[in-house]
Structure 1
Amino acid sequence: MSILSRKYPFPISSHWLRDCIMYCIIVFLILYLLQPFGFSMYQGNKLLVSLLFGFVTFCSCLVFGLAERPLHKNITPWRIWHESLSILCLILFIGICNFLVFSVVFSFPITLDLLLLFLYWTLIIGVFVTICSVSLSYYRYLRNQLEALLDKTTDQQTDITITIHDTNVRGNDLLIPINNLLYIEAQKNNVSVCYINNDKIATAEIHTTLAAVLDDLQTYQNIFQCHRSFVVNLNNITSAQGNSNGYQLKLGTCPTTVPVSRTYVPKLKSFIA
């Protein structure tokens, strides 16, 4: 499923008025402190004009927010592409309103060529801002969702003990609490099990296959195959770094980082979301 068609996880902001004020302040500070677009050559009161553009930005954001609110109620579910288009339209609306004020303040004639040129650059900047805004919000949601999921699963599995069977030596099975399991790595005809034993990192080699382990533990959703050679206990992930091409998972104080190959990234995201 395309990321654009996924459900956008955040409801309409209850702090949208605060957001309007924030956008107003950002535009004011950019104009007054950085003085871009030839604004430094303006001979009049720069503070007053900067406040004017900030106020126009606030009013534009306010009007757009009021007009957009009914859409959230009528369009269900609200997807990522809806949110992306909404942010892009907001940027364009703010830009057009400021363009009209700019034309009046600096006595520029409003021509179609000038408007199209302005919209062109606004669209380029707007696409970049939209991608950054939606991506950061969505991945922040995934991280928070993972943390909440892990906390819940860990509590539910406090008293569960799992067995990793040795297919070669009878009585060499490994019994550990599921919350103590960190990861399992395939190594030729064996698997290396990394787990916590008496608050220390321990490893054990068991003669079995990764497929057999997954078959034995298939009822536990947090035991996740993240690579053709690795199975990880999602309960013990403390950080994840990477992108859609792959991740590196950090598991508590374990010095080994566990890779998530590109093939398993969509499955991991769908599991979290």
Structure 2
Amino acid sequence: MRFYINNEHLQQQIEYPSRYESPNLFKSTVVVFSTLLLFLLLFTPFGVYEPEHKMNYFFICALHAFSPALLFYLYFSTLNYFRRKKQLLPNWSLLREYLHMSLFLILAGIASFLMRDLIYNNAYNWSLRYLWEEIRNCFVAGIFFYFFLRVVSFYFQTKQGSPFVLQFQPLKNEEGEKVVSSPLFITTQVKQDDFSLNIDDLLFVKADGNYIELTKSANNKIETELKRISLSQFETQISAYPHFFRCHRTYLINMFKVEKVTGNSQGYVLSFIGTEEKIPVSRKQLDNFNNCYQQLRKHHIA
């Protein structure tokens, strides 16, 4: 039987999960600590040999829960610092998440191994056997909790309509239909930078400081232009055309040009014909994106 992995799904860009962001990191750490402590107290996993214990079992469980929780907080605090420093915050994927979680679980196993002398009277505390056991146990428990929490999170988000991507169908204009009159004249703060734009050809717009980068498809050819105007100013001037949607802090898209939507409840990724560039839909804009799509689709069907 052939084993198949969807590499595209693993590597596609999604928004950085809110559970790892600095404002939510302490809450996530408390959830990790509380869940692990409850699990250890209720199920006493991996075997318990009381004569080796140097302290009460409750305190042993508390240490085994506190150690990965503290490590979780420090690991993702450090990761957030370097991502902000290198301006990589929008750059995230499921593959990156799985790799970071694997590294975190290895570190958690090593930390549990280093605590053994504090907790147990055992002449072999520093053996490779116990190092392997601690790392293995962290992986077994960590993978279980990680996917359990992901499934629970996915369930509540699907009740809010997040998995809309499964039902997405590209929006198409009727043959010969024109949504707007072209060209559209765009004014800027400097008169000599004003320009005309065939808005029907526009795929998406990317903010670049006080400039915008226009990506267009004309005669089956992708063209990119840089114009001196902010994205907010440009968006205001085309606000009469509801098929243009601000899907992200730095992106404005033409909904009629979206060919494919992928992603999950943490954010969507949009694809367009003729270009390999992927445009993210931020998590905060998921509901607005869904509503915009549904309204345009109803109008198109009608």
TM-score (norm 2): 0.44
The higher-RCO structure (CA 8 Å, 6+ apart) is 2
In our comparison, the structure showing a higher alpha carbon Rg is: 1
TM-score (norm 1): 0.48
